[in-house]
Amino acid sequence: MWNDGWIVVAGASRGIGRALAQRLARENTRVVLSARDAAALDDVAALYGPERRRVIPWDFSVPESLEEYGKRVLETAGPVSGMAYCAGKQKTLPLNMSKPATARDIFDLNTFSAIELVRVLSKKEILNPGGASFVLISSLAAHEGAVGKTLYAASKAALEGFVPPAASELAPKRIRLNSLVLGIVTTDMSMEFIGKMTAEQRNDMESGYPLGLGEPNDVASFIRFLLSDESRWITGQAFVADGGHSARKA
């Protein structure tokens, strides 16, 4: 099911990353748990035996720091056979209020650090000899016109554009790279936005999801599949999971 290496979960303290860490805890996996919130990581780490967990608090909003992060993973854990990049942020901001500094802030966490972590963890000295699988998180925002989502959508679209050519370069190393394109999932991040809606706006939004809004566990199961050897013949793909949101337009 799993290669012998470690699975890195970036953004493991809440939302999808936390659900994935909880999902992997039920299986015989060895996991590196990372996020800025060290206290929240300790709660997740308690689900694992000490021999199957490594906790490395880290701020993924600084792409330049990830070279050091890769070294820390290798020193404290060992070779990596999987990575799920679940860290991210969204900001609802009209285009006329968007500034370069805001764009850099969003792109650093959502895009540049994800790309850099793929680069760092694919190094020969860090990579598990049996290969690895990396999973990135994108959003339907990159494919729909939602007011105020220009920078967030652009950061996710850039990430999707990275996946196919990077996957072609990584395949000879036996590294698979895929992304998930998600509809609205009820995480802390999305609820900050939803919580500002009127009852009418929320009803209109929810009516666009025939299967209901997603939950972190729905996504965690999909990521778990892509990380496992069960998806050994899949790379370079963007998988849509959106509760029927796209299909309703057919």
**Residues that are catalytic:** 152
Instruction: Mean pLDDT check: name the lowest of 81-85, 163-167, 187-191, 239-243.
Output: 187-191
Q: Is residue 53 part of a domain?
A: yes
Q: What are phi and psi of 208, to 5 degrees?
A: -85, 5
Instruction: Mean pLDDT check: name the lowest of 6-10, 18-22, 43-47, 200-204.
Output: 200-204
Q: How far is CA 144 from the centre of its chain?
A: 20
Range of the domain at 156: 6-244
Q: What pLDDT score does 75 carry?
A: 98
Task: Count CB atoms within 10 A of the CB of residue 171.
Answer: 14
Q: Which of 5, 6, 9, 3 is nearest to 223 (CA)?
A: 9
Q: Is residue 250 part of a domain?
A: no
Q: What pLDDT score does 199 carry?
A: 75
Greater pLDDT, 247 or 105: 105
Global pTM reads 0.94
Spell 96-124 as b/e; 16+ CB within 10 A means b: eebeeeebebbbbbbbbbbbbbbebbbee
Is the pLDDT confidence value at 43 over 80? yes
- Which strand (E) or helix (H) includes residue 189? helix 188-194
Q: Is residue 39 part of a domain?
A: yes
* Number of domains into which the chain is organized: 1
Question: What's the alpha-carbon Rg for the chain, to the nearest Å?
Answer: 18
Sequence-separated contacts (24+) of 186-192 with Cβ below 8 Å: 186/213, 186/214, 186/215, 186/216, 187/14, 187/15, 187/16, 187/216, 188/14, 188/15, 189/15, 189/88, 189/89, 189/90, 190/90
Q: What pLDDT score does 19 carry?
A: 97
112 vs 93: CA distance, rounded Å: 20
Could you please report the per-residue DSSP string of 41-97? HHHHHTTS-GGGEEE----TT-GGGHHHHHHHHHHHT--EEEEEE---------GGG
Average pLDDT (101-110) is: 97
- What would the pLDDT profile of 11-26 be if each residue is shown by its tens digit? 999 999 999 999 999 9
65 vs 77: CA distance, rounded Å: 18
75 vs 129: CA distance, rounded Å: 16
Q: Pick the most confident of 10-14, 93-97, 243-247.
A: 10-14
Q: What pLDDT score does 1 carry?
A: 58
Average pLDDT (45-50) is: 93
Q: Is residue 1 part of a domain?
A: no
Which residue's structure tokens are 């057919």? 250
DSSP state of 236: S
Q: Is residue 249 part of a domain?
A: no
Q: Is residue 234 part of a domain?
A: yes
Q: Pick the most confident of 77-86, 93-102, 203-212.
A: 77-86
Average pLDDT (119-124) is: 98
- What is the CATH number for 160? 3.40.50.720
Q: What pLDDT score does 21 carry?
A: 97
Q: Is residue 148 part of a domain?
A: yes
